[in-house]
Amino acid sequence: MVPTWRLRAAFARRLSEMYGTEVPAYTTLLAVTGQINDEVARRDEDAGRLGGIDRVTAERHGAIRVGTPYELRQVAQIFAAFGMHPVGFYDLRDGGAGAVPVVSTAFRPTDPKELERNPFRVFTSLLTPTDRRFFDAELSARLTTFLARRTLFPPELLTLAERAETGRGLPAESAARFVQLAVAAFALSPEPVDRGWYTELERISAVAADIGGVAATHINHLTPRVLDIDALYRRMGEHGITMIDRIQGPPRWDGPDVLLRQTSFRALAEPRAFREPDGSVTEGTLRVRFGEVEARGIALTRAGRARYDALTAETDQRSDDGDGASRQRTARALWEAGFPRTERQLAAEQLAFFTYRPAPGHPRDGRRPPAGLTELVDQGWLTADPVVYEDFLPRSAAGIFRSNLTGDGVHDTDRTGTPFDAQRLAEAIGRPVLDPFVLYAAQQDSSLRRALHTIGAHEALASLDSGG
Ligand code: OOG
Ligand code: NI
């Protein structure tokens, strides 16, 4: 029997191998990422603070895009077999010039032990063909008809996925078949692309064309995790790969790494077959896929996230159209003035999530533990370990989409969009969409209760129960 997590690890590994054969720059990215991770692991004794080197080396996220709730439900079934569940809701339709007609979630493991085994996650976007800001009634109808006619996932794949979900794994032979079919479902299709239809959609949005202009789906990018993204950014330049002009997310600074920093490069144009309006098939190219890399930091609480959003808004205001470097300087100055410089302070102000355990050699001489969490840590009763941010940032996601487009497309902001939220997305998927903050808080809370219980900190436990 191959358990869920081994299926997931095999899926991530095989997708990565496939994407490497499809997008050569991805292979360069992996090589450089591996070098940098080794260097950081050798020079920095805290390198494993946000995940062991084994986890980080295997760690990837992917991005895919589907067209209909039906397709989304099927893909959710496939991911469920790999122990990946929808977490978080991202609406990318309101991002000004770079707005794209999709709403998204991320499929990922939710249990801390499962994350440790293999944290593979896939950012999954659903096209919104009925959104009148992008598609008029006539085009919307044709798009919906086109999408309803295609089949993305073969029945055998879906049946195996159901069996794997219910059985929490598969016997070796079906496991191999299942992973093979799942990987194949995300390979670039050799089917000719209908030139007229693709171009019509592309005028509105390159993302709409990538999703609804073709008869299959494919992985859009696969992203490794790097321990020093600034070093990676420089080194990719030395390898002749031009990155976008900035690293998205928090600035580089001396304080704790939080949330997510990402950067990307556009992949080369890929050869694709086209069916021309006269029926002939020609060779052409499309440039829709790309490379991305990310560094992960500590998960922030809602209050911490609000602080992050405020600092980002202020950075925007003060840097106007400044280049990447001047924006970095502005951001760093604002962070130095407005964000806690230490993990201890992040925990004390409840701006980030930590798990707690009894400190090795915590006092056992009959002394009574103090009631406050900060005192418990400061006085050597408890050890706090930061929780890794496992999710995405809507603004960076919008930036990633945008860096990937040839033009901004057109949309009419005066029209009202189709209302969409996590609840509606959950109905479309037919499975709950989990709230990331709730998951992190539960992880922190259960570790804290266990630790307090072990050290006999009854006062602290009581104050947890009274919500203090
Ligand atoms: C997804 C873009 C979002 C990220 O890392 O924020 C994303 C896409 O381009 O389909 O992958
Ligand atoms: Ni991504």
Q: Measured between alpha carbons, how far is 80 from 84 in angstroms, rounded to an integer?
A: 5
pLDDT at 340 (0 to 100): 97
| Mean pLDDT to the nearest integer, 116-129 | 96
pLDDT at 417 (0 to 100): 76
pLDDT at 466 (0 to 100): 84
Which is the closest atom of ligand 1 to the Cα of 294? 5
- The rounded Å distance from CA 401 to ligand 2 centre is 9
Instruction: Look at residue 76 and give its three-state secondary structure.
Output: helix
Listed range (66-70, 74-78, 420-424) with the worst mean pLDDT: 420-424
Q: Measured between alpha carbons, how far is 404 from 307 in angstroms, rounded to an integer?
A: 29
- Residue 269 located in a structural domain: yes
DSSP β-ladder status, 193-194 and 169-170: unpaired
pLDDT at 413 (0 to 100): 75
Which residue owns the Cα nearest ligand 1 atom 1? 63
Q: Whole-number mean pLDDT of the chain?
A: 92
Q: Measured between alpha carbons, how far is 394 from 77 in angstroms, rounded to an integer?
A: 24
pLDDT in tens, 27-60: 999 999 999 999 999 998 888 899 888 889 889 9
Identify the domain containing residue 142 by its residue range.
Answer: 2-297+390-431
Buried b (16+ CB within 10 A) or exposed e, 52-79: eeebbbbbbbbbbbbbbeebbebbbbbb
Which residue owns the Cα nearest ligand 1 atom 2? 397
- Residue 22 located in a structural domain: yes
| Mean pLDDT to the nearest integer, 418-443 | 94
| Mean pLDDT to the nearest integer, 165-189 | 97
Maximum average pLDDT range among 284-288, 309-313, 415-419, 463-467: 309-313
| Mean pLDDT to the nearest integer, 243-269 | 90
| Residues having C-beta closer than 5 Å to ion ligand 2 | 63, 223, 292
Percent of the chain with pLDDT over 90: 75
Residue 393 CB-half CA count within 13 A: 26
Which residue owns the Cα nearest ligand 1 atom 9? 401
Q: What angle do CA 364, 367, 373 make, to 5 degrees?
A: 90
Q: Measured between alpha carbons, how far is 299 from 292 in angstroms, rounded to an integer?
A: 21
Listed range (102-106, 108-112, 399-403) with the worst mean pLDDT: 399-403
pLDDT in tens, 443-466: 999 999 999 999 999 999 998 888
- The rounded Å distance from CA 65 to ligand 1 centre is 9
pLDDT at 95 (0 to 100): 67
Which residue owns the Cα nearest ligand 1 atom 11? 63
**pLDDT band at residue 354 under the 50/70/90 scheme:** very high
- The rounded Å distance from CA 346 to ligand 2 centre is 27
- The rounded Å distance from CA 450 to ligand 1 centre is 37
Return contacts of 34-42, CB within 8 angstroms, 24+ apart.
35/235, 36/226, 36/227, 36/228, 36/231, 36/232, 36/235, 37/226, 37/227, 39/228, 39/231, 40/227, 40/228, 41/227
Task: Judge contact between 143 and 198, C-beta under 8 A.
Answer: no
- Residue 283 located in a structural domain: yes
Regarding the beta carbon of 448 and ligand 1, being less than 6 Å apart is answered no
Listed range (273-287, 368-382, 396-410) with the worst mean pLDDT: 396-410
- Residue 342 located in a structural domain: no
DSSP 304: H
Number of domains within the chain: 1
pLDDT at 10 (0 to 100): 97
Q: Measured between alpha carbons, how far is 36 from 266 in angstroms, rounded to an integer?
A: 21
- Residue 275 located in a structural domain: yes
- Residue 57 located in a structural domain: yes
Which residue owns the Cα nearest ligand 1 atom 5? 397
Regarding the beta carbon of 396 and ligand 1, being less than 6 Å apart is answered yes
pLDDT at 149 (0 to 100): 96
The pLDDT of residue 322 is above 80: no
Mention every residue, 6+ apart, whose C-beta is less than 8 A from residue 324. 245, 246, 247
Which is the closest atom of ligand 1 to the Cα of 396? 6
- The rounded Å distance from CA 275 to ligand 1 centre is 29
Which is the closest atom of ligand 1 to the Cα of 90? 3
pLDDT at 468 (0 to 100): 56
For the whole model, what pTM was predicted?
A: 0.95
- The rounded Å distance from CA 394 to ligand 1 centre is 9
Q: Measured between alpha carbons, how far is 90 from 401 in angstroms, rounded to an integer?
A: 13
Which is the closest atom of ligand 1 to the Cα of 401? 9
- Residue 453 located in a structural domain: no
Single out the residue of 69, 59, 8, 70 nearest to residue 30, CA to CA.
59
**pLDDT band at residue 312 under the 50/70/90 scheme:** very high
pLDDT at 72 (0 to 100): 98
Task: Judge contact between 188 and 270, C-beta under 8 A.
Answer: yes
| Mean pLDDT to the nearest integer, 319-340 | 87
Task: Judge contact between 59 and 51, C-beta under 8 A.
Answer: yes
pLDDT at 379 (0 to 100): 93
CATH of the domain at 281: 3.10.180.80
Q: Measured between alpha carbons, how far is 230 from 213 in angstroms, rounded to an integer?
A: 36
- Residue 167 located in a structural domain: yes
Query: Which residues of 259-336 form beta strands (DSSP E)?
Result: 260-266, 270-275, 281-286, 290-296
Instruction: Give the closest ligand to the alpha carbon of residue 123.
Output: 1
The pLDDT of residue 408 is above 80: no
| Mean pLDDT to the nearest integer, 138-150 | 96
